[in-house]
Chains A and B, each alone.
Chain A
Amino acid sequence: MPTIGRIDVLQLRPRIYWRSMLNRRAFSLCITAVFLSGVTAVAHHGSNVSYQLDKTIALTGTVTEWEFVNPHPQIYFDVKNESGEVAHWAAELLPTPSMMKNMQVGWSRTTMKPGDQIQLVCNPSRVAGAKACLAKELQVNGKAWPLAGGPGGPKGKQ
């Protein structure tokens, strides 16, 4: 993907994007998308190099530990396969605890406790066999918990 630097975009505007209101709106949406992608990049070190952001996996498991701490909250959980073997997994959440608090949906250090059942959609590691992933969607005991949005939370869907 060619670089989209601020200078490049400003140079393009008068020539291409401001020819009509329709194109102006398209330009605005494009810029918004670029900025929103930056929002997620703000919060996380190396997410696009540690995880495959273009792929997701679905996991169902039992919480063993919930760490609502900086720099990113973490869920540790056991996943049982069809033959009954248990694998221990870790999932990190992209927003920081302060971002999640400011979403005003009730995130706290008591959101989960050992024994809770979770359903998770997450980006897998780039390392084959690694049992760590980046959470995208989360349900705890059947209740969905958003990972973005709200009054003071990170904008846009992760």
Chain B
Amino acid sequence: MRPSILLAVTALSIFGQAKPDFDPHDLSGHWNRTSRFQTFSNVFSGQGATQGTAEAPLTAAGKVRYEANKPGYGPRASPPALGNDPMGTCDPLGIPRLLNTEVISPHQTLEIVQVPGRMIQFFEWHHDWREVFTDGRALPAADKIDFTWNGTSVGRWEDNVFVVDSIGFDDRTWLDKFGYPHSEEMRLQERYRRVDKDTLELTMTLTDPETYSRPWVSDTKIFRIDRDKSKRWDEQIYCVPTEEYKFNQRVRDEAGGKGAGK
């Protein structure tokens, strides 16, 4: 091959590459989680195959709290009438459960909005939302923490990975619908990476020595962008306590053997 042709081919291969058709630092949009793992870790929750494939590194204290939680899903599922899932009374699900549980199409989605100084996540379930501060502030000192359902979060970019560190979680929430607990000591790190224009990956690591004997890493959650979201009929998906209570009393309790009557 002539040198001039070789040069041309090399130049084409270097400069002719198409630009990525997405900005890896743009996480905005409606996202549906497509991975069917609704737990914090890689515990498969599909109906008919509800046994876990990985066990949480619970401490003795963590195990006591885990056993006290009575979920409606997973290997320890009990009828809602006999359970105590916070979802069954419309309590806030909190972080990270909002990311683990109810962001599956066509159920409901997660919307990410990035504005100067903040990244905001909107969850269709409950019409809940959280702020991740990106203005360079630090997490509050231990004696300044206000414990909240969604915690306090700050975010930063590490190359093309958006890293969110959070503390200050109210310990009444569960990690997922399998009933895994956490304490107020929990620290959570989320790592978001836009893989391509349609795909977002999330992995999480929680550190909570009171509940788990070592840092616990989630499976990789996969989200697909939902550009047709605006074409769908969108209900205000609130969990309404009065409606939930009536449903529990008239259906769930009857089906589950409490027999409160209708």
Interface residues of A (CB under 8 A from B): 1, 3-8, 34-35, 37-38, 40-43, 45-51, 67, 69-72, 74, 76, 88, 90, 92, 96-99, 101-102, 125-127, 130-134, 152-154
Closest chain B residue to A155, Cβ basis: B106
**Interface SS majority for chain A:** mixed
For the complex of A and B, list the 6 residue pairs with the smallest distance between their C-beta atoms, beginning with the closest.
A5-B53, A46-B72, A45-B72, A41-B47, A98-B235, A132-B255
CA distance A46 to B244 in the complex (A): 15
Closest chain A residue to B233, Cβ basis: A101
- Decide if B235 touches A101 in the complex (CB within 8 Å): yes
Task: Give the residue among A1, A4, A40, A130 with the most B Cβ atoms within 10 A.
Answer: A130
- Decide if A74 touches B247 in the complex (CB within 8 Å): yes
The smallest beta-carbon distance between B144 and chain A, in angstroms, is 37
The smallest beta-carbon distance between A10 and chain B, in angstroms, is 12
CA distance A70 to B234 in the complex (A): 13
- Decide if B45 touches A3 in the complex (CB within 8 Å): no
- Decide if B107 touches A6 in the complex (CB within 8 Å): no
CA distance A42 to B72 in the complex (A): 11
- Inter-chain contacts of A153 with B (CB < 8 A): 106
- Decide if A69 touches B255 in the complex (CB within 8 Å): no
Q: 17 additional contacts, CB 8 Å, given A37-B47, A47-B47?
A: A3-B52, A4-B44, A4-B46, A5-B44, A7-B53, A34-B46, A41-B73, A46-B79, A48-B47, A48-B48, A50-B81, A70-B243, A70-B244, A96-B107, A125-B257, A126-B79, A132-B251
- Inter-chain contacts of B217 with A (CB < 8 A): none
The smallest beta-carbon distance between B218 and chain A, in angstroms, is 13
- Inter-chain contacts of A4 with B (CB < 8 A): 44, 46, 49
- Inter-chain contacts of A152 with B (CB < 8 A): 106, 232-233
- Inter-chain contacts of A46 with B (CB < 8 A): 72-73, 77-80, 83, 256
Closest chain B residue to A127, Cβ basis: B257
B205 is an interface residue with CB less than 8 A from chain A: no
- Inter-chain contacts of A99 with B (CB < 8 A): 106-107
The smallest beta-carbon distance between B203 and chain A, in angstroms, is 14
**A49-B78, A70-B237, A102-B233 known; A125+B254 contact, CB < 8 A:** yes
B36 is an interface residue with CB less than 8 A from chain A: yes
Residues 77-89 of chain B, each 1 if its beta carbon lies under 8 Å from chain A, else 0: 1111101010110
- Inter-chain contacts of A51 with B (CB < 8 A): 255
CA distance A6 to B53 in the complex (A): 9
B154-175: which have CB < 8 Å to A?
A: none
B108 is an interface residue with CB less than 8 A from chain A: yes
- Inter-chain contacts of B256 with A (CB < 8 A): 46, 50, 125, 127
The smallest beta-carbon distance between B49 and chain A, in angstroms, is 5
- Decide if A42 touches B53 in the complex (CB within 8 Å): no
- Decide if B36 touches A35 in the complex (CB within 8 Å): yes
CA distance A114 to B259 in the complex (A): 24
The smallest beta-carbon distance between A53 and chain B, in angstroms, is 8
- Inter-chain contacts of B30 with A (CB < 8 A): none
CA distance A153 to B239 in the complex (A): 20
- Decide if A7 touches B42 in the complex (CB within 8 Å): yes
- Decide if A1 touches B49 in the complex (CB within 8 Å): yes
- Inter-chain contacts of B77 with A (CB < 8 A): 46, 48-49
- Decide if B79 touches A49 in the complex (CB within 8 Å): yes
Contact of A45 among B85, B238, B262 (CB under 8 A): B85
B97 is an interface residue with CB less than 8 A from chain A: no
Closest chain A residue to B239, Cβ basis: A70
B252 is an interface residue with CB less than 8 A from chain A: yes
- Inter-chain contacts of B234 with A (CB < 8 A): 98
Q: List 22 A-B contacts (CB under 8 A).
A: A1-B48, A3-B53, A4-B49, A6-B44, A6-B219, A37-B47, A38-B47, A41-B47, A45-B177, A47-B47, A49-B72, A49-B79, A70-B237, A70-B240, A71-B239, A74-B247, A96-B235, A99-B107, A126-B79, A130-B259, A131-B262, A132-B255
